[in-house]
Amino acid sequence: MSEDILLDVKDLKIHFSKKKMFRDPVTVHAVDGVSFAVPKGKTFGIVGESGSGKTTTALGVLRLVPITSGSIELEGTDLTTLEGTDLRDARKRFQMVFQDPYSSLDPRRRVGEIVREPLDLMDIGDPDERDQTVRELFVKVGLRAELTNLFPHQFSGGQRQRVGLARALATKPDLIVCDEPVSALDVAVQAQILNLMRKLQEENGITYLFISHDLGVVQHLCDHVAVMYLGQIVEQADRISLFKNPQHPYTKALLSAVPKVSAYENREERVHLQGDPPSPINLPKGCRFAGRCPQATGRCHETPPLLTEIGSGHLAACHLIA
């Protein structure tokens, strides 16, 4: 890849120890050896069903959950080992937009204060400058500057997500991690927010790590896409290759469930995804998708496939492909 890499994640593992009544604690393999690189100024999507480890990956990148192993580099700075003031300084460079614009904004605080908070916490500018920055941020995300005195409940869902974006932009971050930022909004509002995100990216050169279970949304915004299944990436490619030429049986199944984005529209080879993924506690020995894969063979149940390059920048983990 000739592009400059902003975020480089290598073999990230995030395991949780879960206590069980009257039994030994078990290990939840929420993220289990994930590697990806996000080019500067681009949008990297992570897609997968609920429970595949998307949110945990996001929280790991933001250093909001303990990392079991692996490395996360932001332009050469290893975020995994930063502590204290170094971590606090690095936090200016990465921010997050959450899924639920209803619960992620403190209902007792005025939206202007909410957007100002990162500037206060990180001591950026004097108080007058911070107020001015907040007004500019409101305008940037398409809200009138007078609205800073209102409370979150006085806004619609879409407007609240604009407030969330203004807050994320306050410290002029290089990277914004968005975890299902439009999933709680209706479709027309989703498109407005996605267009705003693209505009903000063009104006400010922001890089997004964009997490969603919705392939339609991912196709709208992302330059590169990784498909996660049970804590691992099973396929990764640029948007066009992934949507036009999906290779992994799981990606094919996900795509054929969404006719409007599907390469399989009007075709016979629709793959139907049945059942639920196995638990990230008792992992299968071979391919993690084997229990649901229509093409699984004996080998699949025995040996896990490795994520392998199958075309320029196109990776997949499946015995049938590599």
Ligand X SMILES: Nc1ncnc2c1ncn2[C@@H]1O[C@H](COP(=O)(O)OP(=O)(O)O)[C@@H](O)[C@H]1O
Which positions lie near ligand SF4, rule CB under 6 A?
249, 287, 289-290, 293, 295-296, 300, 305, 318-320
In the complex, what is the shortest distance from the CB of residue 322 to ligand SF4, in angstroms, rounded to a whole number?
A: 9
Q: Is 50 a binder of ligand X (CB under 6 A)?
A: yes
Residue 159 φ/ψ, nearest 5 degrees: -65, -40
Q: Is 51 a binder of ligand X (CB under 6 A)?
A: yes
Q: Is 55 a binder of Mg ion (CB under 5 A)?
A: yes
Cα–Cα distance, 208 to 46 (Å, whole number): 11
Q: Which does 48 bind (CB under 5 to 8 A by kind): ligand X, ligand SF4, Mg ion, none?
A: ligand X
Which residue stretch of 14-22, 54-62, 124-132, 155-163 sits at the interface with Mg ion (rule: CB under 5 A)?
Answer: 54-62
Which residue stretch of 47-55, 104-112, 119-127, 286-294 sits at the interface with ligand X (rule: CB under 6 A)?
Answer: 47-55
Q: Is 16 a binder of ligand X (CB under 6 A)?
A: yes
DSSP 109: S
Question: Do residues 51 and 103 touch, judged by C-beta distance below 8 A?
Answer: no
| Distance from the Cα of residue 137 to its chain's centroid | 23
| Distance from the Cα of residue 227 to its chain's centroid | 11
Q: Is 227 exposed, middle or buried (0-12, 13-18, 19+ CB in 10 A)?
A: buried
- Output 140 or 301, the one with its CB closest to ligand SF4: 301
Q: Which does 56 bind (CB under 5 to 8 A by kind): Mg ion, ligand SF4, ligand X, none?
A: ligand X
Which residue stretch of 54-62, 90-98, 103-111, 140-148 sits at the interface with ligand X (rule: CB under 6 A)?
Answer: 54-62
In the complex, what is the shortest distance from the CB of residue 277 to ligand X, in angstroms, rounded to a whole number?
A: 9
Break the chain down into helix, strand, coil percent, rounded to 5: 35, 25, 40
In the complex, what is the shortest distance from the CB of residue 50 to ligand X, in angstroms, rounded to a whole number?
A: 4
What's the farthest any 2 CA atoms get from each other in the chain?
Answer: 67
Q: Is 100 exposed, middle or buried (0-12, 13-18, 19+ CB in 10 A)?
A: middle
Q: What contacts 110, CB < 8 A, 6 or more positions away?
A: 148, 149, 150, 151
| Distance from the Cα of residue 11 to its chain's centroid | 16
Q: Is 280 a binder of ligand X (CB under 6 A)?
A: yes
- Output 140 or 270, the one with its CB closest to ligand SF4: 270
User: Which residues between 71 and 90 bind ligand X (CB under 6 A)?
Assistant: none
Amino acid found at 296: A
Q: Which of 7, 9, 30, 206 binds ligand X (CB under 6 A)?
A: 30
Chain contacts with Mg ion (rule: CB under 5 A): 54-55
Chain contacts with ligand X (rule: CB under 6 A): 16, 18, 28, 30, 48, 50-56, 280
